[in-house]
């Protein structure tokens, strides 16, 4: 009786049912609960105080109010300590009185450690060698009021995975089999991870958010500690969940609401830029970008590079440089450069802790003996958001073995070898589902010409210092030549090789192997093995791509010569348009087939 | 997963003396950030357990860290400086050896070194590199004490 009366009288003092109803549909409240389409996107039921909270924002509001007003907890478990953002929001709109005033020690320490003052979104470049990171990655950085950005805190959203799982890792990543959590780490740790270990450039977008916004984000972040949502690689991924943190302070932008089928990290940057939310952009080069820039900016000779490399690998003593008669500045250059190279080789040579510490100190001691300071100039590439958009619609005309055709193709994402490289990794290709439909007007026939599930190509330059392997995979269903006609095959191919820079071109040499499984009759299936080369010239306004391969095709009981040659020229028409001319020849079953095609492409 | 497990071990380390012995392997010296979670691995393995787009690490790793380190004598109350130096030992050593760099700028900002004195401060540090880092066993607390000593001369 008393309890009932108490609850009643207290809820009365917060205002009428109508007030609470109104408040429960306030965009800030809905964003604090991560509501979308009438339901919360937080799957952890412990996040909610009402059993209905995940689908009923009013019930959650009432439960939160009740918990705040009745809790007798004096410490960290008080709802005002556990839900500081909700509490701040409700206090602003209602005359709220707590039964006890708790001491939120844990939250207070967390908040004063971060000392939120400003917010940046950080984009880490593409990392083609890990399929989960090919689109890049974004996280938030919350900065205390210091000039140095090393003192900021990176707020990351990631799935809690077990990498040992192999294929299951990908299946679970795509289907929501993993739980995703928010995490906070000092920014320098993330820099180390991305710039040094993975060699990914970082782009830092300072957002137009003030101290109060930054503080509210940190409060909300505390509410999300150890709370999970199921992770979906394409849509509910890191970049998407990070947007909720901006949404709680800018609900009118409804950033999360703009992404449904997939959330591509760079698209979230574009959305923020479009809304005028970006104040300034900083570029943080990765270790390898810095090494390449160093050679150019300091005009290192091949001999100097070799010397620095030997020192970094401890095949030569640093003292030999110190004692040599070369100018002091050259000594500084070489030792500075070997210092940069050291970490790269330490990882490659699987160095253990004791050896690492000794060698690092030996190198640094030598470097400290030369006073000259070296500050290499690092040119800033085009930022990722200045690249073309990921989806592509193409219309094309051409002839195939003398037969005229027209058609269209649509690609959901992301970047093809023929596309302009501005804002993307040079010599890279990442294509996720794309479809190509062809009509032959003279035959009055329309066919599905190709359905690509995934195609990846990474042409990574090798040079004196870096020796990466180039590789490619393709998985598609496409029409291919057999004896007298084309029919559908499942194409599974894989290639490896080496790429080098020759003048302005990147040239690949390697071996491609492919398995064509016929969809009409298994007997028609075949295997081919082609020593191949790919050359990519220039970028910007013009681009030229040449591909060639010649080898063998093996059917169930016979072997044939097989070869193909293809060239394309791309003319850039603004940021989101291109025109492409291409021509090719393929030799299958002792017959040459020629094709030419002209296409116009629109990116969106 | 090794990293998370290592993180959990780190969390109970204060309460458990047997594990604390294991931790002394690392100390708070050079290589601290790299090896603190897994002292017996190689740099290659450190690379293998770090993250990409999808990866697990649901912790809020900001308030713990330097409790197991030897505390500096000269810095009475500057936890931010102590933690930064401890976790950026390699980078700071590298910057001091070169006479410039972001980690060095950060340390001098946290120490409130006036802008006009930075040049001299950086040169002095570079000159005294061998004194600040006498051996690879040097601890972050000693590094800070030396740096503060040099700052007072500038």
**Residue pLDDT, tens place only, A464-481:** 888 889 999 999 999 999
Cβ separation of A183 and B61 shorter than 8 Å? yes
Q: Judged by CB atoms within 8 Å, which residues 441-460 of A form the interface with B? A: none
Which residue among B63, B100, B109 places its CB closest to the CB of A373?
B100
Residues of A in contact with B31 (CB under 8 A): 353, 356-357, 360
Closest-CA distance, B96 to chain A, in angstroms, reads 7
B chain contacts of residue A360, beta-carbon cutoff 8 Å: 30-31, 90, 93-94, 136
Contact A137 B52 (CB under 8 A): yes
Low-confidence ranges of chain B (pLDDT < 50): 1-26, 50-58
Residue showing tokens 């992770």: A231
Query: Are residues A450 and A477 in contact, defined by beta-carbon separation less than 8 angstroms?
Result: yes
* pLDDT score recorded for residue B21: 36
Residues 6+ positions from A325 with CB-CB distance below 8 Å: none
Q: Do A352 and B42 touch (CB under 8 A)?
A: yes
> B94 and A218 in contact (C-beta within 8 Å)?
no
Residues of A in contact with B115 (CB under 8 A): none
Find the helix or strand (DSSP H, E) in which B83 lies: helix B79-87
Q: Give the number of other CB atoms < 10 A from CB of residue A286.
A: 20
In this prediction, the residues of chain A whose per-residue pLDDT falls under 50 are 1-12
Q: Which of A154, A109, A142 is nearest to A216 (CA)?
A: A142
Q: Compare CB distances from B97 to A156, A186, A368 and report the shortest one's residue.
A: A368
Token representation of residue B36:
């603190």
The tokens of A468 are what? 């990466």
Domains and CATH numbers, chain A: 2-103 (no CATH), 113-284 (no CATH), 299-368 (no CATH), 387-603 (2.40.160.40)
Q: What is the spatial distance between Cα A154 and Cα A143, in angstroms, rounded to a whole number?
A: 9
Please give the pLDDT value at position B1.
Answer: 36
Q: Positive or negative CA dihedral for B40, B42, B48, B52?
A: positive
Contacts of B110 in chain A (CB under 8 A): 146, 151
For residues A424-460, b (16+ Cβ closer than 10 Å) or e, as one string?
bbebbbbbbebebebebeeeeeebebbebeebbbbbb
Cα dihedral value A301, A305, A310, A314, nearest 10: 130
Asked if the Cβ–Cβ distance from B100 to A185 is below 8 Å, we say no
Q: Which of A457, A491, A489, A490 lies closest to A473, judged by CA? A: A457
- State CA A325 to chain mean position distance: 48
3-state secondary structure of A192: helix
A350 in B contact zone (CB under 8 Å): yes
CA distance B35 to A426: 34
Shortest CA distance from A331: residue in chain B: B98
| Alpha helix segments (H runs only) across A151-301 | 167-175, 187-191, 211-223, 238-247, 265-274, 287-297
For chain B, give me the number of helices (H) and strands (E)?
Answer: 10, 0
Rounded to an integer, what distance in angstroms lies between the CA atom of residue A575 and that of residue A386?
A: 8
Of B112, B105, B106, residue with least CA distance to B75: B112
CA dihedral sign of residues A78, A84, A85, A88? positive
d(CA A411, CA A425): 19
How many residue pairs bridge chain A and chain B with CB atoms within 8 Å of each other? Answer: 186
Joined together, the tokens standing for residue A19 give 């007030």
Interface contact B143, partner A, CB < 8 A: no
Whether residue A357 contacts residue B31, with contact meaning beta carbons closer than 8 Å, is answered with yes
Whether chain A has a CB inside 8 Å of the CB on B102: the answer is yes
Contact B90 A113 (CB under 8 A): no
d(CA A156, CA A265): 13
User: Model confidence over A404-463: pLDDT tens digits?
Assistant: 999 999 999 889 999 999 988 888 898 989 999 999 999 999 999 999 999 999 998 898
Partner A contacted by B90 (CB < 8 A):
yes
Which of B41, B42, B56 faces A159 most closely, judged by CB atoms?
Answer: B56
* Euclidean distance between CA atoms A351 and B42, whole angstroms: 5
- Residue numbers in B near A113 (CB within 8 A): 62-63
Residue A96 tokens read as 């709220």
Nearest to B27 by CA among B59, B75, B70: B70
Q: Report d(CA A154, CA A190) in Å as an integer.
A: 7
Q: Give me the residue label for tokens 């509490």.
A: A87
Q: Please judge whether A365 and B42 are an interchain contact, meaning their C-beta atoms are less than 8 angstroms apart.
A: no
> How many other C-beta atoms lie within 10 A of the C-beta of residue A323?
9
What pLDDT, on the 0 to 100 scale, is given for residue B48?
55
Query: Distance between alpha carbon B25 and the CA centroid of its chain, in Å?
Result: 15
pLDDT at A130: 63
A148 to chain B, any CB pair closer than 8 A? The answer is yes
The answer, for A158 touching chain B at a CB cutoff of 8 Å, is yes
- Kindly report the nearest CA distance between residue B67 and chain A, in angstroms: 15
Show residues of chain B in contact with A148, CB under 8 Å: 102, 105-106, 109
Q: How far apart are CA A5 and CA A351, in angstroms?
A: 70
Instruction: Kindly report the nearest CA distance between residue B107 and chain A, in angstroms.
Output: 9
Burial B99-116 (b: 16+ CB within 10 A, else e): bbbbbbbbbbbbeebeee
Q: Is B108 on the interface with A (CB under 8 A)?
A: no
Interchain contact A226–B (C-beta under 8 A): yes
Question: Which pLDDT score is estimated for A189?
Answer: 87
**B97 contacts in chain A (CB < 8 Å):** 339, 364-365, 367-368
Which DSSP letter does residue A523 get?
A: G
Question: Which alpha helices (H) appear in A236-393, and where do they start and end?
Answer: 238-247, 265-274, 287-297, 302-312, 319-323, 328-348, 353-368
- Integer Cα distance of B142 and B132 in angstroms: 8
Structure-block tokens of residue A556: 């169930």
Beta-carbon count within 10 A of A389 CB: 17
CA distances for A548 relative to A199, A583, A593, B105, angstroms: 31, 12, 15, 52
- Cα-flanking dihedrals φ and ψ of residue A284, to 5°? -120, 105
Q: Where are the beta strands (DSSP E) in A401-469?
A: 403-415, 428-440, 445-458
CA distance A364 to chain B (A): 6
Measured in degrees and rounded to the nearest 5, phi and psi for residue A448 equal -80, 115
Close Cβ partners of B132 (under 8 Å, ≥ 6 residues apart) = B93, B96, B125, B138, B143, B146, B147, B150
Is A108 near chain B, with CB under 8 Å?
no
Query: Do A521 and A484 meet the contact criterion of CB atoms below 8 Å apart?
Result: no
Burial class (CB in 10 A: 0-12, 13-18, 19+), A402: exposed
Give pLDDT, residue A299: 95
Note which residues in 70-89 of chain B have CB less than 8 A from chain A.
80, 84, 87-88
Residue count of chain A, please give it.
604
ipTM at complex level: 0.86
Long-range contacts of A314-321 (CB under 8 A, 24+ apart): A314/A359, A318/A362, A318/A363, A318/A366, A318/A367, A319/A366, A321/A366
């Amino acid at each position: 009786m008393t309890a009932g009366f108490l609850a009643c009288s207290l809820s009365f003092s917060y205002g009428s049912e109508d007030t609470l109803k109104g408040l429960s549909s306030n965009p800030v409240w809905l964003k604090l609960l991560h509501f979308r389409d009438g339901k919360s996107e937080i799957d952890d039921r412990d996040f909610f105080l009402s059993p209905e909270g995940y689908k009923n924002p009013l019930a959650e509001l009432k439960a939160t109010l009740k918990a705040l007003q009745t809790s007798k907890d004096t410490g960290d478990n008080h709802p005002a300590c556990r839900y500081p953002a909700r509490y701040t929001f409700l206090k602003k709109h209602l005359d709220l009185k707590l039964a006890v005033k708790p001491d939120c020690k844990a939250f207070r320490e967390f908040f004063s450690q971060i000392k939120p003052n400003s917010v940046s979104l950080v984009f880490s470049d593409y990392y083609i060698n890990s399929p989960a990171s090919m689109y890049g990655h974004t996280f938030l950085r919350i900065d205390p009021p210091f000039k140095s950005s090393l003192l900021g805190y990176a707020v990351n959203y990631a799935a809690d995975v077990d990498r040992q799982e192999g294929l299951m890792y990908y299946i679970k990543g795509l289907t929501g089999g993993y739980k995703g959590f928010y995490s906070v780490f000092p920014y320098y740790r993330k820099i180390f991870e991305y710039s040094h270990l993975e060699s990914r450039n970082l782009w830092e977008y300072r957002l137009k958010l003030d101290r109060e916004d930054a503080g509210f984000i940190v409060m909300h972040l505390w509410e999300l500690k150890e709370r999970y949502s199921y992770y979906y690689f394409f849509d509910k991924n890191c970049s998407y969940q990070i947007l909720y943190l901006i949404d709680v302070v800018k609900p009118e932008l409804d950033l999360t609401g703009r992404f449904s089928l997939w959330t591509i990290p760079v698209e979230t940057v574009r959305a923020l830029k479009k809304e005028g939310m970006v104040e300034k952009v900083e570029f943080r080069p990765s270790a390898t970008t810095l090494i390449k820039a160093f050679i150019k900016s300091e005009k290192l000779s091949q001999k100097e590079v070799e010397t620095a490399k030997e020192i970094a690998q401890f095949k030569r003593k640093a003292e030999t440089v110190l004692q040599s008669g070369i100018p002091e500045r050259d000594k500084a250059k070489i030792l500075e450069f070997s210092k940069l190279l050291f970490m790269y080789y330490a990882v490659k040579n699987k160095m253990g802790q004791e050896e690492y510490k000794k060698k690092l100190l030996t190198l640094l001691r030598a470097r400290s003996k030369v006073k000259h300071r070296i500050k290499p100039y690092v040119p800033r590439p085009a930022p990722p958001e200045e690249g073309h958009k990921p989806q592509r619609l193409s219309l094309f005309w051409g002839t195939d073995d003398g037969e005229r055709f027209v058609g269209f193709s649509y690609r959901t994402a992301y970047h093809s070898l023929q596309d302009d490289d501005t804002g993307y990794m040079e010599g890279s290709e990442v294509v996720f589902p794309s479809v190509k439909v062809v009509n032959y007007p003279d035959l009055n026939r329309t066919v599905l010409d190709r359905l690509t599930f995934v195609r990846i190509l990474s042409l990574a330059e090798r040079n004196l210092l870096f020796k990466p392997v180039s590789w490619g995979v393709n998985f598609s269903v496409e029409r291919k030549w057999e004896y007298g006609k084309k029919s559908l095959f499942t194409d599974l191919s894989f290639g490896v090789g080496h790429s080098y820079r020759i003048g302005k071109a990147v040239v690949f040499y390697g071996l491609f192997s492919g398995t064509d499984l016929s969809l009409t009759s298994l007997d028609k299936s075949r295997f081919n093995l082609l020593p191949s080369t790919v050359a990519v010239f220039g970028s910007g306004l013009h681009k030229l791509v040449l591909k060639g391969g010649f080898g063998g095709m093996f059917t169930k009981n016979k072997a044939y010569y097989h070869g193909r040659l293809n060239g394309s020229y791309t003319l850039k028409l603004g940021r989101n348009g291109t025109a492409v001319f291409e021509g090719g020849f393929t030799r299958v079953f002792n017959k040459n087939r020629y094709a030419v095609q002209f296409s116009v492409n629109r990116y969106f | 997963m090794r990293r998370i497990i290592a993180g959990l071990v780190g969390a109970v380390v204060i309460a458990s003396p047997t594990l604390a012995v294991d931790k002394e392997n690392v100390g708070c010296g050079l290589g601290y950030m790299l090896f603190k979670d897994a002292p017996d691995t190689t740099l290659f393995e450190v690379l293998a357990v770090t993250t990409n787009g999808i990866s697990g690490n649901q912790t809020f790793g900001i308030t713990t860290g330097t409790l197991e380190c030897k505390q500096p004598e000269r810095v009475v109350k500057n936890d931010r400086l102590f933690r930064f130096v401890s976790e950026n030992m390699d980078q700071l050593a590298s910057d001091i050896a070169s006479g410039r760099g972001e980690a060095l700028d950060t340390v001098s900002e946290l120490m409130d070194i006036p802008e006009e004195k930075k040049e001299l401060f950086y040169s002095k540090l570079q000159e005294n590199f061998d004194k600040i880092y006498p051996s690879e066993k040097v601890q972050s607390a000693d590094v800070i004490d030396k740096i503060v000593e040099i700052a007072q001369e500038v």
